[in-house]
Structure 1
Amino acid sequence: MLSRLRKYGSWFLAFFFALAAVLWIASGEFGGRNEPDARKEAAHLAARQQIPQVRVRTQTVQQHTQTLVVQARTKAEKKVTVAAETTGRVVELLVDKGDTVEKGELLARIDAQDKPARLAEARARLDQRRIELEAARQLSEKGYRAQNQLAEARAYYEEAMAAVSKADIALADTKVRAPFAGQVGDRMVEVGDYLTGGAPILRLIDLDPIEVVADVSERDVGMLHIGDSATAELITGERIEGRISYIASEADEDTRTFGVEMTAPNPDRRARDGVTASLRVAVRQAPAHLLAPSILTLTDQGMVGVKYLDEEDRVRFQEVNILSDTREGVWVTGLPDEVTLITVGQNFVNVGQEVEPVEESDVVNSLEGTPLDLPQDAPGKPGPEARP
């Protein structure tokens, strides 16, 4: 008996420890029934904590005025080269480069030479022909002079009148006057230069009003009309407003564009000729949304759009059409009249995913009075400019 106990004692000991382990596990499974519920609740809470938060803004559609913007340049309404109309030596120059002159103002004087004497001679002969014509008329009325002789006297008189007019014009041509009010540009002659008819003397530029000229594509020219309000932003910083005064009826054969001109008042002549500018014309109104460029999303298929939330707080994607890009933001169409846009976090959620929305206004209010508070017009703070 003792030998059998020694022989099988180790097996009994092992069986005893195994039975004890089974009973301990069973007591934990059936006796602690509240522990699985607690684990399930913790797992459910963890799942809820995995729903991502995104910042959103609800906005409604607005009426947007679409603006056509084209590259342009300023152009003086009148720009001529004042030339000599007679032959002679320049004896006087009364203006210099940059001077402002009025219409009819004397610019230069050319040597008259014998032109005053020729005018005096022509006037004396005219007086003689007038006397001869009067005598011929009186004799013709008394029957002492034939009608052909009266006609001859009248022809001599008219010839003398033409000679006086010609001599008067020749003398007047020695005085070079401004054909219109403007500003003197380059001056090509100096006192003492000998000129022939047609020789250039100086440039005269009329800057009031000023014209802004541009070439508009055949796709856009149909949106413009004579009289449309327009604005030109010059590269020098000036901003001038006017109206469309000319639209070409035919396209340029090389560029297939149409010439367009805007005319604007320029009383102080601050806008100069030949300055690069951007011409802006309001062409039409359309309902659209103003968005910050940062909330736009590009899909793998190359579509540009935005992510927004549906009624169940699930992410949706909508392709948009960009109307214009302005300093305030991007104007787009294709969205519902009222939409809840994802403004922060849109790149970290997928279409169809449930999210927890946080209103921008709540974020701003929570930061008021803290070191993170920003002025209303600070970049990055939500506001009328539609920045996220």
Structure 2
Amino acid sequence: MKRRIILILVITAMLIAIVVKLAYNKSKIAEKKSPPKIGDIRIPVTTSAVRSEIMLERLVKTGTLAPLRASRVLSASGGQLQSVMFSLGDHVKKGQLLAIVDSRLLALDLQKAETNVVKLERDLNNYRELLEGKAATLEKVEGMQQSYNDALNLVQQIRKQIADASIKAPDDGVIASRPVEQGVFIAAGTEVASIVNMSSLKVQVNLTEDEVYKVAKGQKIAITTDVYPERIISGVVTFISPQANEAFNYQVEVTAPNDKSMLLRAGTFVNADFSKKTGRKVLLVSREALIESTSNAAVYVVINGKAILRKISVGKNYGEELEVLGGLEDREEVVTAGQVNLKDSALIKVTNKE
């Protein structure tokens, strides 16, 4: 009997243990299946601050370098090119003798003309004396005076032709072309050489109608080149075309000194930076913060650990940023990454700030 009671007690204890174990397992399974508390989840996001800035009106244009002056050296007289005293690439000064046209026949003509002037002057003086003694008429003296004046004019013309036979440089610069050779016969007006003056740089750029009104004569410009990428050349706007060309562009010229240590050549492409501060202070927000289009703009603003959805209005586009016209304040934090997982007033965890 006693043994039976003990067996019943053991079996009862085992059943109780099994029931307790099953109940414990059931509670654990139910706990795992139960959804987590929504309020405890914090969605990771990155943010950036809204900022105010004095805006820089960006305007960078590609242009080409042109010589400060380009001169064609023309022969004023015709004849055989007796001497050429320059080569391609020579540096020449204004007034420097470059070439001589054979003027030996002109020298003979000058000698004859000067002899004739001396003879006519003597005859004119004789007739004046005769006129005083009433041995000659006034008409004869006036005729002699006209002949003498014509002879003087002829002498001056021949002397000028002889002077023109000496071809001189009209400007400082470098000889860029030499289309003739010594000994050839040239006519008056023939180009003997061309001279390029690169003592200063002249940058020529084309601006649109919208751009040209942002530029002013005398404005300082930063010039850069791929040839000398580490150097910035300071230039000044010296010309703005008053009329558009056929492409509705306005030509603008910028002048700058040509540093001998990094001499630039005509035809080189350069970048002319016309950017300047507008004096207008604007509020900027990262374009990445927008969750709608610019016409229906909205962002998530970080307030007390929550992402608060807020409608905003935006203005001009400044690259990776947009002008804020309303809806945000300076230095407010906005979400720039992770918005896809957000709802209004969602709890967030800022992982890093941009």
TM bracket (short chain): 0.7 to 0.9
Residue 287 (structure 1) aligned to one of 255, 278, 281: 281
SS at match of 1:122: helix
Structure 1 residue 113 displacement after superposition: 3.2
Aligned residue in 1 for 2:178: 187
Q: Contact 1:211–1:261 (CA<8 Å) still a contact in 2? A: yes
TM-score (norm 1): 0.69
Matching residue of 1:198: 189
Contact 1:109 1:176 in 2 (8 A): yes
Residue 249 of structure 2: aligned partner: 257
Q: Who is 1:166 aligned against?
A: 157
- State whether residues 44 and 338 of structure 2, in contact with CA within 8 Å, keep that contact through their aligned partners in structure 1: no
Normalising by structure 2, what TM-score?
Answer: 0.75
Deviation of the 1:99 alpha carbon = 1.2
Check 1:308–1:260 CA distance in 2 against 1; reply closer, same or farther (3 A cut).
farther
Alpha-carbon deviation of 1:290? 7.4
Say if 1:289 and 1:131 are closer, same or farther in 2 by CA, change over 3 A.
farther
SS of match in other structure, 1:103: coil
| Contact kept in structure 2, 1:136 and 1:150, CA below 8 Å | yes
Aligned CA distance change for structure 1 residues 140 and 315 (closer, same or farther; 3 Å): farther
Instruction: Give distance in 1, aligned partners of 2:116 and 2:133.
Output: 26
Residues in 2 aligned to 1:290 and 1:43: alpha-carbon distance in whole angstroms = 39
Which of 247, 258, 267 matches 2:240? 247
Contact 2:302 2:335 in 1 (8 A): no
CA distance 1:171–1:62, shift in 2 (3 Å): same
What is the letter of the counterpart of residue 158 of structure 1? N
Moved more, 108-117 or 333-342: 333-342
| Structure 1 residue 275: Cα displacement | 1.5
- Give 1:199-278 correspondences, 5 Å limit: 199-237=190-228, 239-253=232-246, 255-266=247-258, 268=260, 270-278=263-271
**Alignment check: 8 A CA contact 2:300 2:339 kept:** no
SS where residue 275 of structure 2 aligns? strand
| Distance in 1, Cα, partners of 2:61 & 2:341 | 39
Taking the aligned partners of 2:343 and 2:136, their CA distance within structure 1 comes to 115
SS at match of 2:107: helix
Tell me the matched-pair count. 325
Decide whether the 8 Å contact of 1:306 with 1:341 is kept in 2. no
Query: Compared with structure 1, are the counterparts of its residues 88 and 56 closer, same or farther at alpha carbon in structure 2 (3 Å cutoff)?
Result: same
* CA 1:159–1:55: 2 relative to 1, 3 Å: same
Partner residue, 1:309:
301
Q: 1:200 to 1:359 in 2, by over 3 A?
A: same
Superposition deviation, residue 111 in structure 1: 2.0
The residue type paired with residue 287 of structure 1 is: K
Partner of 2:77: 86
1:296 aligns with 2:251: no
CA drift at 1:43: 5.3
1:1-388 equivalences under 5 Å are 47-48=39-40, 50-58=41-49, 60-137=51-128, 140=131, 145-237=136-228, 239-253=232-246, 255-266=247-258, 268=260, 270-282=263-275, 284-285=277-278, 286-288=280-282, 296=288, 301=293, 309-312=301-304, 313-314=306-307, 316=309, 320-321=314-315, 324-325=318-319, 330=320, 332-334=322-324, 336=328, 338-342=330-334, 345-346=337-338, 349-350=341-342, 352=344, 353-357=346-350, 360=353, 388=354
Classify 1:221/1:124 alpha carbon distance in 2 versus 1 (closer, same or farther; 3 Å).
same
Kept in 1, the 8 Å contact 2:301–2:335? The answer is no
Q: Is the 8 A contact 2:285 2:323 kept in 1?
A: no
- Look up the SS of the partner of 2:331 in the other structure: strand
Secondary structure of 1:191's aligned partner: coil
- Aligned with 1:92: secondary structure? strand
Shift, 1:341, TM fit: 4.5
Q: Against the structure 1 CA distance between its residues 58 and 119, is the aligned structure 2 distance closer, same or farther, given a 3 Å change threshold?
A: same
Pairwise CA RMSD: 4.0
Deviations 1:49-77 (A, max 9, x none): x2134344446312122132222111113
Letter in 2 for 1:264: A
CA distance in 1, matches of 2:108, 2:296: 84
Query: d(CA) in 1 for partners of 2:72 and 2:335?
Result: 60
Q: Distance in 2 between matches of 1:343 and 1:274?
A: 49
Change (3 A) 1:121 1:305: farther
Q: Is the 8 A contact 1:65 1:283 kept in 2?
A: yes
Q: Give the fraction of aligned pairs with identical amino acids, expressed as a percent.
A: 18
SS at match of 1:179: coil
Whether the 8 Å contact between 1:66 and 1:324 is mirrored in structure 2 is: no
Q: Deviations over 1:227-261 (max 9, x none)?
A: 222233234236432222222222222x1212221
Q: Is the 8 A contact 1:298 1:304 kept in 2?
A: no
Superimposed CA distance per residue, residues 290-336 of structure 1 (whole angstroms, 9 cap, x where no aligned partner): 788xx6357564779895634444255756555555xxxx5642265
